[in-house]
Amino acid sequence: MTVIILLGPPGCGKGTQSRTIQEERRIVHLSTGEMLREEVASGSDIGRQAKEIIEFGKFVPDELIIKLVANRIRTPDCLNGFNLDGFPRTLPQVKALEGLLELNGICINHTIQFVVDDDAMVKRISGRYSCLNCGEGYHVEFHKPEIDGVCNKCGHNKFQKRADDNEATVKARLTDYHLQTEPIIKYYKKKGVLSTIDGRPGIEEVKKQIDNILG
């Protein structure tokens, strides 16, 4: 079993690379953000608690995230391995994850940090939007539909922008990220399991850096 952790600020490209790892290496992409949005959409207890926190640009409390991850990594599709996108974000989450993995005789193989400056992240995230029908992602500057107003993937003509993808909320999320996540980077570095990549280039260049690490 292969376990990979991808660390980096919101919108740095972790999700894109995580999905590529899943497609090419059959190592399941686990996004805490996606799991939370599914809970919100379902109207579950966890979803209702998380909704208000997410809309204000804050991170959901550890106990809710840990419960989601603990349930997910025990599912059959994770037997070959999984790569975590957006988890762990805090030192308590790191300890909880280590405990979960130890109980199952699993160890972390790679921890990869994406490095991108805050100004670039604000510009990247605040310009994101997606197709209302299929969820295909776009950007007002970096990735527009080939035909204006028409989704490349499904041909739908209606789009949506996440409520938390605005400049003020993005800055709040980045502040939280630095406060909560940077101690994790120091922790994994001290343990000797941290690799760092430049998250600023295009998708293919970032992928090459990851492939060099994973082999």
| 37 tagged catalytic | no
Give the active site residue among 58, 95, 128, 189: 128
CA 41 to CA 50: how far, in whole Å? 11
**Residue 139: exposure state from Cβ atoms within 10 A (0-12, 13-18, ≥19):** middle
Catalytic residue among 37, 162, 171, 200: 162
Q: Is 89 marked active-site? A: yes
- Let me know if 128 is a catalytic residue: yes
| ∠ Cα 15 17 19 (to 5°) | 70
Residues 6+ apart with CB under 8 A from 93: 62, 65, 66, 87
Which helix (H) or strand (E) segment holds residue 20: the answer is helix 14-25
170 and 54 Cβ atoms separated by less than 8 Å: no
Task: Give which of 27, 45, 52, 47 is closest to 37, Cα–Cα.
Answer: 47
Asked if 27 and 4 count as a contact pair (C-beta separation under 8 A), the reply is yes
What amino acid positions are annotated as catalytic residues?
14, 89, 128, 162, 173
